[in-house]
Amino acid sequence: MKKVFFLIFIISISTFAYSQTNDTLFNQTDSEGLKQGYWKKNYPVGGLQYTGFFKNNNPIGEFKRYDREGNLIAAMYYSENSTKVFTKLYYPNKQIQAEGYYINRIKDSTWTFYSETGILISTLNFIMDKKHGLETRFYDNGNIFEKLEWENGLQNGTTIRYYDNGSVMIRATYSKGNLHGSYSSFSSNEKPLYFGQYVNNRREGKWFIYDESGKVKSEINYTKGIADNQEELDKIEQEELDLLEKNKGKFVDPLEKIYNNNPPM
């Protein structure tokens, strides 16, 4: 029995000594107070917050960041002579949520976004944390759902939404975040449904409604978004028009939370 207790004692001492020695490998500073080597930081109350390597107080290589429950939320890759930080953000299930570059905590260049099951959702370009350039969104099967053009955080240019079979559903024109210009929609077999113009988010001028064969069946004239013959519009026809346009290309994006996710520091 004494041998057993002695053995347990020796193991305990060895474990403690190893732990103490191992801890000395982390959180070191030089004579000038600069962080050097491997560092780890814990939350004030809770577990590990991050681990990484410093050289002369600057992060170098891979940094891993965790939430208070211990889940990996970000892996950030620092280059010694670059301000760009390639970053992978993670869901709690360890799937990649998004990946792209930060410059001083500001999103830059092309970012890629994924669903919690690992399916590609979209690619989007950023400049100084603002959407700028082409954004492409995808269906679960990989086909393109929508293409949007951005300028300094506002939709600007042509937005095209597609059916799952690849044919165009809606083609709209934006200017500084507003629907402004031609707007057309089509059936899944590529027949025209509606065509008209927008001026600052309001329908303006003559709009055409087509039948199943692609022939014009109605014409409606709008002035500042109000139809001249509003009372004569067929109720069902109007409901169909409103349903088709209810988003006006302003797709309620489930990824906004992801897009706006700042690097956890």
CATH tag, 91-265: 2.20.110.10
Instruction: Report percent pLDDT > 90 for the chain.
Output: 60
What is the pLDDT, as a whole number, of residue 212? Answer: 84
What is the pLDDT, as a whole number, of residue 228? Answer: 82
**For residue 123, what are the β-bridge partners?**
112, 136
What is the pLDDT, as a whole number, of residue 111? Answer: 95
What is the pLDDT, as a whole number, of residue 74? Answer: 95
Segment 118-167, tens digit of pLDDT: 999 999 999 999 999 999 999 988 899 999 999 999 999 999 999 988 99
Rounded to an integer, what distance in angstroms lies between the CA atom of residue 209 and that of residue 190?
14
Would the pTM of this model clear 0.85, i.e. be above it?
no
Instruction: Report percent pLDDT > 70 for the chain.
Output: 77
Rounded to an integer, what distance in angstroms lies between the CA atom of residue 199 and that of residue 204?
6
Rounded to an integer, what distance in angstroms lies between the CA atom of residue 72 and that of residue 95?
10
Segment 60-97, tens digit of pLDDT: 999 999 999 999 999 999 998 888 999 999 999 999 99
Q: What is the mean pLDDT of the chain?
A: 83
Using pLDDT thresholds of 50, 70 and 90, give the confidence band for residue 235: low
- Residue with more model confidence, 101 or 249: 101
Question: Can you give the residue ranges of every domain in the chain?
Answer: 24-82, 91-265
What is the pLDDT, as a whole number, of residue 250? Answer: 40
What is the pLDDT, as a whole number, of residue 261? Answer: 59
